[in-house]
Amino acid sequence: MHIDFYYLAVTTVTLASIYGLLAVGISIIWSSLGMINMAHGFTFAVSGYGAWLVAQNISTNGVVVLAGGVLTGMLSGAVIGGLAFVPLYDKPNFAVRSLIATLAIALFGSQCLLWAFGPRVKALPPIFPTGGFKFGTASVSYDRLGAIVCSIVLLLAMLAWMKRSRRGLEIRAMMQNPEGAALVGVGLRSTAIAVMMVTGGLAGLAAVLLSRTYFVSPFAGAIPLVKGIIVALAGGLGSLAGALIAAALLGLVEALTAVGLGGRFVLITQFLVIIIILLIRPRGIAGMLERTRE
């Protein structure tokens, strides 16, 4: 069987960058807040609506729509943090309770969206110009290129921010030891809200970039959430490097499966890979790289 290398590379990079955006968000939230954010999919959906409202009422300019999605995502993240983390983080049984709280927020939010906007899907205006160019034997549309570039730039920007800024230092302190961070004066609540806003912004970006694949609808977040979770899981919850490696690996698996076996088998092969990874390394790929939150 002939496998087109260029096509494979382009597909892998596209999928990896998108998965990376979602998985990194889930992973950071888990490691710094100790919370599985099941409402990440809701942030994804609501950001789509935010971008759609911006496109309807303000401007259809790509940058403005993108900004609208990111801002809505940040707002949604802050609200989720305020509802699920702030009142619960010092209560007994926090991990399970926050998981359920975020699930409740997801249910509440998606039903509210359904109530407010109806079940019909909405389409966002094109963000990048139509057309494309040839990369080797594969054709790359500007839309795809824009998605890749945007997500890589934002991921790198976020990594640099985590490494260099004061807030990033606080977040890393909270990842290593929340109690110790609190003792040396890191405000857990404000840091948590900052984390939720940043990851919410990433999810909002992903929502707008993916609006060609997952149209804006109340339940659009479910599939990206599941993909983000399994990628974060394979990478090892709490590890950025692990999440990125897993995103690349699973993107490659998906591209290979789609080319070799057909799109129907994508989830099955992905799952087989993940289960094999987890059976060998119960704490994901990062189990080999670094210590993660227990």
Candidates 149, 271, 290, 291; binder of another protein (CB under 8 A) is 271
Give the E-state strand segments of the chain in sequence order.
132-135, 138-141
Question: Which residue, among 223, 238, 209, has the nearest Cα to 17 in the 3D structure?
Answer: 209
Q: Min. distance of Cβ 242 from another protein in angstroms?
A: 13
Q: Min. distance of Cβ 178 from another protein in angstroms?
A: 17
Q: Min. distance of Cβ 226 from another protein in angstroms?
A: 5
- Of 8-16, 84-92, 143-151, 165-173, the window that binds another protein (rule: CB under 8 A) is 84-92
Q: Which is nearer to another protein, 210 or 230 (CB)?
A: 230
Q: Which is nearer to another protein, 85 or 128 (CB)?
A: 85
- Of 13-21, 46-54, 158-166, 278-286, the window that binds another protein (rule: CB under 8 A) is 278-286
CB neighbour list of residue 199: distance below 8 Å, 6 or more residues apart: 24, 25, 26, 28, 29, 37, 40, 77
Q: Min. distance of Cβ 103 from another protein in angstroms?
A: 6
Candidates 198, 273, 274, 286; binder of another protein (CB under 8 A) is 274
Backbone angles phi, psi at 185, to 5 degrees: 100, 15
CB neighbour list of residue 163: distance below 8 Å, 6 or more residues apart: none
Q: Burial, 281: exposed, middle or buried (Cβ in 10 Å; 0-12, 13-18, 19+)?
A: middle
Return the H-helix or E-strand segment holding 198.
helix 188-209
Binding of another protein at residue 56 (CB under 8 A)? no
Question: Which residue, among 272, 230, 261, has the nearest Cα to 15 in the 3D structure?
Answer: 230
Q: Which is nearer to another protein, 83 or 241 (CB)?
A: 83
Candidates 28, 74, 75, 106; binder of another protein (CB under 8 A) is 106
CB neighbour list of residue 270: distance below 8 Å, 6 or more residues apart: 230, 250, 253, 254, 257
Binding of another protein at residue 229 (CB under 8 A)? yes
What is the Cα–Cα distance from 141 to 134, expressed in whole angstroms?
9
Binding of another protein at residue 174 (CB under 8 A)? no
- Which residues sit at the interface with another protein, rule CB under 8 A? 30, 36, 83, 87-88, 91-93, 95-101, 103-108, 111-112, 114-115, 219, 222-223, 225-226, 229-230, 233, 237, 264, 267-268, 271, 274-275, 278-279, 282-284
